[in-house]
Structure 1
Amino acid sequence: MIMADWRIRPASAGDVEAVAELRAVVLRADLERLGRYDEQRVRQRLRDGFAPAHTWVIEVDGAFAGCVALRPAEDAHWLEHFYLASHLQGSGIGTAVLRRLLEQCDREGTLVRLNVLQGSSARRLYERHGFTLEREDPVDVFMVREPTSTVREE
C-alpha cells in the first residue's frame, strides 16, 4: 500500500472542535467496552485540556485527519491526544508521525510518557516504538519510553 500524502502543522484554537469530534469517534468503542463512554464528557475533556501550543494537526491530502500533542512536564514529555481518522488507521501514517516526534525527543534526551485505554489496539503501536508498562489501573495503561540515545546535540 502506498502511504497517503501527509503533513503535520501547528494546531490553532480553531482546531479544537474538529479534534474533539475525532476523539469522540475514535475512542468510542474502547470507552463503551470499559463502560466509560459519555457523549458530552468525551468531547469536553478534550476541550478542557486542548493546548494548541503543544499540539499538531495531521493533514492527509490537505484535509484534517488527526492530531497529536507533546506536552512538556517536569521529568518527561507527555504524548497526548494522538488520534487518527479511523479510515487511515493501519496505513502507516500514525507510525510515521510517532517516529518523527520520538526522533525529536531522542535528540533532546527526553523521556516520553503516555497513557492508553485498557485493551486499546494503540498499545501495540507504542510497544513497537519502545514504550514499556509503567503502571495500570482498571481504565488506563501508563507507559514510558527512555530516549534511545544519551548523546545530546549541542
Structure 2
Amino acid sequence: MTQASNSTPSGHVTFAVVSAADFEELAALRIAAMKASLEAVGRFDPERARERLRKSFYPDHTAFIVVDGQRIGFYTFRPADEGFQLDHLYVHPSCQSRGIGSEVIRHLLSLADASQMPVSLNALRDSASNRFYQRHGFVQTAEDEWDIYYTRTPGVSGAQAGGA
C-alpha cells in the first residue's frame, strides 16, 4: 500500500487517479483481496488473477480507494451497454470490515442513480462479496460455474431489494 493524493467523495474515503503504470500495484491489491475466496473454491492462482485483471483493465475508469493517505483498494466502474459495469471493487484484507466498501459502493451507486442507469457486476460464487452486493440492492440475474451475475436498478436501496 502506497501514498496517494487527490479527489474526494464523502467521509474518510477519497479516490486517486490510476494510470497504466499502476497495473502491478492494482494486481497485488486484487490478489490480496481475493486470495481467501479463491483458496476456498480451490482456484487461487496469482498469475490467472493478474491476467483476468489485465483483460478488464480500463485505467480511465479505475480509481484507487485511499484512506488516511494509503492506497488500500481500487474499483473499476465504467459505462457499458445500457448502464454501468462494476468490473472490480477490492479492499485490502487488512482494511476490510470497516465500512469502506459500503462507502465506495454508495458513492458509485449515487453516480448511477444520477444518470438513472442500472449497474451490473459479477461476483465469485461462495464469496462473501455476494452478501455484500445483495445488501446494497443488487439482484441476481444469472450464474455460471464460477460467478454469479447481478444488476441493481437505479434508486433501489438494499432495504427495497430485500437486503439489510
Same fold (TM over 0.5): yes
Cα distance, 1:38 vs structure 2: 1.6
Return 97-106 or 9-18, whichever deviates more. 9-18
State the partner residue of 1:6.
13
Q: CA deviation at 1:129?
A: 1.2
List, as ranges, runs of 4+ consecutive aligned residues in structure 1 with deviation greater than 3 Å.
Answer: none
Q: Pick from 52, 55, 58 the counterpart of residue 62 of structure 2.
A: 55
Alignment RMSD:
1.5
2:105 match: 98
Identity percentage over the alignment? Answer: 40
Superposed CA offset, 1:33-90 (max 9, x none): 2232222111122123211111111111111100001121112211111000111111
Q: Which amino acid aligns with 1:70?
A: F
Code of the residue aligned with 1:133 in structure 2: it is Q
1:29 aligns with 2:36: yes
Structure 2 residue 159 is matched with structure 1 residue 147: no
The answer to whether the 8 Å contact 2:13/2:103 transfers is no
Find the counterpart in structure 1 of residue 4 from structure 2: none
Which one-letter code corresponds to 2:142 in the other structure?
A: R
- Check conservation: 1:110, 1:147, Cα contact below 8 A: yes
Aligned residues: 146
Matched, 1:110 2:102: no
Higher relative contact order structure (alpha carbons within 8 Å, sequence separation ≥ 6): 1
Q: Say which is worse superposed, 11-20 or 30-39, in terms of deviation.
A: 30-39
Please state if 1:69 is matched with 2:76.
yes
SS for the counterpart of 1:115 is strand
TM norm structure 2: 0.83
Paired position in structure 1 for 2:131 = 124
SS of corresponding position for 1:40: helix
